[in-house]
Structure 1
Amino acid sequence: MGDTIRTIFLIVAFSILMAFQINMAADIRTTHQLKNGAELAIHDAMLAYNKEELSKGKVVFNQTYAKKYLVDSLNANLKLTGTATSTILYPKKDSFFTQPVKLLKVVFVDESNTKSFPYTYKDPEYDVTQILKRPGIVAILETKAPRYFKGKDTIVRQATSFEFQQSWVEN
């Protein structure tokens, strides 16, 4: 009888630990997926620089196209749906994400709105500080990690920045 009770206790304890582990792995994977998707999307958005301003030696982003490229890249890489004017992107059926991804902020730091670099971007609302050595874009995204077992939702927020590289310019 004692062996049976110990066995049942071990099975229950193992099941609880596995549930915690699987949920934690989902949190970690969500963080990685969101970070990687955001980095790719910001890189794509950086390609929407104003060529006329660049010929004058200034880096200025076309914010309309940059936002479109950013959202298109998030849609393609994270399997989401949304438009350039969307702040909420919804997951497709084959997406890892089960909850919408919110595009909390996209900030363009270029030579049309900043006098000198390096520039320190601070956002007290989301507790984000990014130092940009050159013109760049900062994006803040948020979603909830999927729960495979009942538990408190984990909100994953990712702030990502990318700086303009002169080597990208076509010759």
Structure 2
Amino acid sequence: MRFFLIAVFTVIFAVTSFTRNTDMNYDLLADRRLADALELASDGASEQVQIASVANGDIVFNQAAADSTFKTILANNLALDPSTLTPLSNSMYQSGATVNVEQFFDYSNTTFPYTYDNPQYGIDVVLTGPAIVYNVTLPVPKNFESSPSGFPLTWTKVASYPGIYTN
């Protein structure tokens, strides 16, 4: 009887450890995918500028094109619908992404260097040239039904126009 109880508790412990470890790895994968997708999307958006402004040396973003590019690249990398940012059937995410902040800073509205501070999202950055600031939230997917509901991943990304240093 003692051997049987030890075996049962060992199996329960092993299964519980396996599911928690798998959940943790799944959470890390979801976090890394969001960070990488946000990096690619924000870099793509920061390249959407008005051509005439580049010739003048005073970079001005094409905000409509930047917004569209950002959402398209983010959606393609996370298997989300580009128009609503809700998950497609093949997405590992179960809830849609929310773009909390999309702020454009260029020579049409800012003099540089510029300190951008948004305490609501914990953003405090000195911009030395044209940049776009994004803050995106996406709930972590659940791997097992016994897992707690997904906590939100929130990432902030500052993407500057290529060749301009932003710290």
Tell me the CA shift for residue 68 of structure 1.
0.7
Q: Is residue 27–residue 156 contact of structure 1 (8 Å, CA) maintained in 2? A: no
1:89-128 superposed matches below 5 A:
89-117=85-113, 119-128=114-123
Contact (CA 8 Å) 2:81, 2:87: kept in 1 or not?
Answer: yes
For structure 2, the residue ranges without an aligned partner over 5 or more in a row are: none
Structure 2 counterpart of 1:161, one-letter code: V
Q: Deviations over 1:30-68 (max 9, x none)?
A: 111111111111111112111112222101101111101
Q: TM-score, normalised by structure 1?
A: 0.87
1:71 shift after superposition: 0.8
Residue 158 (structure 1) aligned with residue 166 (structure 2): no
Q: Is structure 2 residue 137 aligned with structure 1 residue 139?
A: no
Q: How many residues align?
A: 162
Aligned equivalent of 2:63: 63
CA contact (8 A) 1:27 1:154 kept: no
Q: TM-score, normalised by structure 2?
A: 0.89
Counterpart CA distance in 1 for 2:17 and 2:163 is 50
CA distance in 1, matches of 2:17, 2:38: 32
Structure 1: 5+ residue runs without aligned partners? none
- Determine the C-alpha separation between the residues in 2 that align with 1:120 and 1:7: 61
Structure 1 SS opposite 2:85: strand
RMSD: 1.7
Whole-Å separation in 1 of the counterparts to 2:35 and 2:138:
11
Aligned positions of 1:18-97 closer than 5 A: 18-83=18-83, 88-97=84-93
Q: Give me the whole-angstrom Cα distance separating, in 1, the residues matched to 2:131 and 2:99.
A: 17
